[in-house]
Amino acid sequence: MKKPFYESRTLQYTCHIWRHPNYPKHLHKHMELAYVADGRLNVTINQENRVLASGDCALIYPNQIHAYASTGDIEFMLIIADMDFMDDFFDEFNYYEMETPFFKKEQLTPYGQQALNLLLKSAGETDVPFTTGKGLLMVLLSDIFYSIPIHRRKQHTELNLTEKILLYINENIRFQLSAKALAKEFGISAYYLSHLFSRELKMSFPSYVAHQRLNLACDLLCSTNRSITDIAYDVGFTSMRTFLRYFKNQYGCTPTEWRNRYEKSSV
């Protein structure tokens, strides 16, 4: 059985076009590169919030809390890459940081801009060779770290409690997760855990877990031909009825309709 996104992947990176991205605050061990080709998108990375418009980009480092919110259909390219895939940029991701995670396409050299254009084109195609995608991403990252100011981190900082909890959820999303069991795992009360989610993520623990599972389901819907039933159970839902109800409430359509829309937009 294929494991969902945050546990392991058969692909080391994905490059997709999203039309209505709405993801609450979350983090993971992967790098994300976001590019708004058309429309407007509210993006939060750590404590910094920006409204991105056409031509705007963001680079999210591993273990940075981030969120996306859109009010209508947009053209948004999201690249997610395993850090094992990024060996050439180990120092940049581990010992340096950008002055700001947000930048404009026009700040890149012509090489970086062209690589970004080609990645956007590839995001709508299904037969792009793996080596092509990797090569384009390497060119883009090289240009980003050349063109956008970075500075050495003052010191390595340990993950705080919220970050540790979110990573634990990501790594165990396929399994049953309860506030009581999670609180026990981290040596805190269930009440404090609930307060933590309400204060820092602005949503309840069950809502956060369901939203993360839906995100994984969407990733599998557009990157595999797996059945809807397999996907529902693979991402941690215990019944199809619950999965379909949550999915329709979140996206306003069924998983089949969502997959069909994605396939049509990729043609």
User: In terms of domains, do 48 and 141 share one?
Assistant: yes
Identify the domain containing residue 92 by its residue range: 13-152
Does the residue 4 lie in any domain?
no
Q: What is the pLDDT of residue 71?
A: 78
Domain end point (choices 131, 152, 173): 152
**Domain count within the chain:** 2
Domain end point (choices 121, 152, 183): 152
Residue type, 36: V
Return the CATH number at 121. Answer: 2.60.120.280
SS3 of 77, please?
Answer: strand
Does the residue 240 lie in any domain?
yes
Q: What is the pLDDT of residue 107?
A: 97
Which residue blocks in the chain are alpha helix, DSSP H?
90-94, 110-123, 130-147, 161-171, 179-185, 190-196, 205-223, 228-234, 240-251, 255-265
Nearest 5°: phi and psi at 49? -120, 135
Nearest 5°: phi and psi at 196? -60, -45
Q: What is the pLDDT of residue 158?
A: 62
Does the residue 87 lie in any domain?
yes
Whole-prediction pTM: 0.75
Q: What torsion, rounded to 10 degrees, do the Cα atoms 94, 99, 105, 106 define?
A: -130
Does the residue 7 lie in any domain?
no
* Residue 232, both tokens: 């529902």
Give me the tens of pLDDT residue by residue for the chain, a chain 267 residues long: 334 344 434 457 888 888 888 888 888 888 999 999 999 999 999 889 999 999 999 999 988 889 998 878 899 999 998 888 788 898 898 888 898 999 999 999 999 999 999 999 998 887 888 889 889 999 999 999 999 999 887 765 567 888 889 889 988 888 889 999 999 999 999 999 999 888 888 889 999 999 889 988 988 887 788 899 999 999 999 999 999 999 998 888 899 988 887 776 655
Q: What is the pLDDT of residue 7?
A: 41
Does the residue 224 lie in any domain?
yes
User: In terms of domains, do 83 and 208 share one?
Assistant: no
Q: What is the pLDDT of residue 267?
A: 52
Domain end point (choices 123, 152, 181): 152
